[in-house]
Structures are given as C-alpha cells and as structure tokens.
Amino acid sequence: MNHDMPSPAGTTDVFSTHSVYGTPCWVSLTSRDIKTTEAFYTAVLGWRWRPARLGERFRIALMDGAPVAGLAGVADMWRMAVAWTPYFAVRSADEAVSRVQERGGTLAVGPLSLPPGRAALLADRDGATFGVWQGELFTHWLSWRQAQPAFVRLHTRDAFDAAIFYGEVFDWGAAGPGRTEVVYEGDEVVLRSDGHVVACIESGALGSAPDPAIRPRWQVHFTVADVAACVRAAERHGGSVLALRDDEAVLRDNEGAQFTVTARHVRGPGPAGGPPTEWETE
C-alpha cells in the first residue's frame, strides 16, 4: 500500500504508476503491534522509522534516509493476516480489481482512496495475496527499486498458469515504455523492467505436475550486508528461522510474517539467488 508518496516541493523526479505499469512498486507489512514490529526490524535490518501521512496506524521504514517499506497496524482492525505484501503499479485500481475477479481471483480490501492514489488488496486464483496501487510514486523511486527490496518471488503450484493470470491482469509482455518483460530462465518465470529483475514465479521443474502441497504466496526479499547477523538478531527479538544457507535466509518476524534476507552481492534468480531448498518445509 502506498503509505506516503507526495514528493517535496520543487522536485521533478516524480513517477506515477502509469510509467511503470505492471511492475512491483512498493512492499507493505500488516501488523497488530506497531511498536514491537518497529523494534524487530530496526534490530534485524537496521531500519529507522517516521510517521506516514495516512495516520498513526501507518509508518514508513527508512534505510540511509530513503523509504524502504510501509508498515500498517491494521491487521486486527481490517481482519487481515500479519504478512508482507508486494504492490503492483496499475493505471486503474478499479480496472485491475475487475480483471482479477474475471480470472478467478478475489478481492479482500478496497479499492480505497488513499491520496495521492487508490489501492486494493487481492488474491490470485490460487490464494496468493498481492496489492495494486494507482497513483504517484515517491521521489527517488527508481533508487528504491534498484536497492530495496531485491525482488519479490511467487511460490505457487503452477508457474505457467500464474504467469498467464498476472500477465493478463498487468499486461506483462506488452509493447511500450516501462512495460515488464517476461522470460523463462531455468525453472522460473522471470520479470524484468529496464533490465532489472523485479519479480520471479516458481513452482518446481518446468513441465512437472503442480504440487498440491505448496501454499502459494508472494515472498519479499531484502538485501543485507550480513545474513548471519540478521538471523541472530531475528532470533534474539522473537523471530525464527525457516530456512538458511550462506547467502540467504527465510525468516519469520515476531508476529509471524515471513520474509527473506539475501546477501547484497546476490541479485535475481538462478542458483545464487534462488530460495533455499528447505523453503516449503514450513
């Protein structure tokens, strides 16, 4: 959800979702207890926090003074799960909702008017939750995309079917500036925008039968300098480790939301950037 997007007066590098249609444009965490959640991510990822314009239930995470992610203390109020959610840029939130519902997906919240735009929370036809945002993007948004988060990855039962669903909703692969390129790399569907990996979809080996045991979900990856230090901090502050290897760890925060930390030198899909093989054990 776009918590706080207006740019300071006099700036010119303001982007809108029209210019990056179909790409991930923000990540947001729903929480029950903002104070304890802030303390957890400050300890694990070194984030600082500031208020958001939407009110006391919303906060903006900062890394080196730049926006990284949003925090919304609305899990109980809106009867939502505690979870990290990627938001995709759309021209019209209402149109995106209609496209999702026409293709078997569901609407959870919205569309809501959150100046300077509109947002909605949805689920694809396999149950993976994601959001859409229509409106302005914050100043220096391109720097955010290149730095934090590294990318988002959908773990699902059938990557090919999921790519069709999202491709039809977001016009992936269509011609035009700012559009998302979709390619198969290894056993994953990989999305690129302006040469940057912005999302991946995986479901096991290409051509294999869908795995009914997989619980579809979007996983947010954050780049960090020291994966091991993040793991230790998460365990000290009420979190847990779901999967671990030298350059990546899947973590659960103090309220149960899952996310991944990836070594800063690892970007994108492939053997170096893929998920730990133990991922689906939890």
| Structure confidence by residue, pLDDT tens digits, 87-141 | 999 999 999 999 999 999 999 988 988 777 899 999 999 999 999 999 877 656 5
Report the C-alpha gap between 254 and 219 in whole angstroms.
17
Q: For residue range 244-262, what is the model confidence (pLDDT) as tens digits?
A: 988 999 999 999 999 999 9
Average pLDDT for the chain: 81
**Lowest mean pLDDT, pick from 68-72, 100-104, 139-143, 213-217:** 139-143
The yes-or-no verdict on residue 206 having pLDDT over 60 is no
The yes-or-no verdict on residue 216 having pLDDT over 50 is yes
The yes-or-no verdict on residue 17 having pLDDT over 80 is no
- In this predicted structure, what is the pLDDT of residue 174? 75
Task: Tell me the CA end-to-end span of the chain in Å, nearest whole number.
Answer: 27
Q: Which of 78-82, 143-147, 242-246 has the highest mean pLDDT?
A: 242-246
Q: For residue range 262-276, what is the model confidence (pLDDT) as tens digits?
A: 997 655 443 333 333
Residue length of the chain? 282
Farthest-apart Cα atoms in the chain, separation: 54
Residues in a beta bridge with 135? 117
- In this predicted structure, what is the pLDDT of residue 18? 62
- In this predicted structure, what is the pLDDT of residue 269? 46
How crowded is the C-beta side of 116, counted as CA atoms within 13 Å? 12
pLDDT band at 7 (very low <50, low <70, confident <90, very high): very low
Strand pairing category for 240-245 and 248-252: antiparallel
pTM for this predicted structure: 0.83
- In this predicted structure, what is the pLDDT of residue 37? 96
Strand pairing category for 217-224 and 151-155: antiparallel
The yes-or-no verdict on residue 78 having pLDDT over 60 is yes
- In this predicted structure, what is the pLDDT of residue 41? 97
- In this predicted structure, what is the pLDDT of residue 53? 75
Q: Nearest-5° angle of CA 64, CA 265, CA 228? A: 80
With b for 16 or more beta-carbon neighbours within 10 A and e for fewer, the 61-84 pattern comes to bebeeebbbbbbbbbeeeebebbb
The yes-or-no verdict on residue 67 having pLDDT over 60 is yes
Q: Specify whether the CB–CB gap between 227 and 44 falls below 8 A.
A: no
Total Cβ atoms within 10 A of residue 246: 9
The yes-or-no verdict on residue 147 having pLDDT over 90 is no
pLDDT band at 204 (very low <50, low <70, confident <90, very high): low
Q: Specify whether the CB–CB gap between 197 and 237 falls below 8 A.
A: no
- In this predicted structure, what is the pLDDT of residue 280? 32
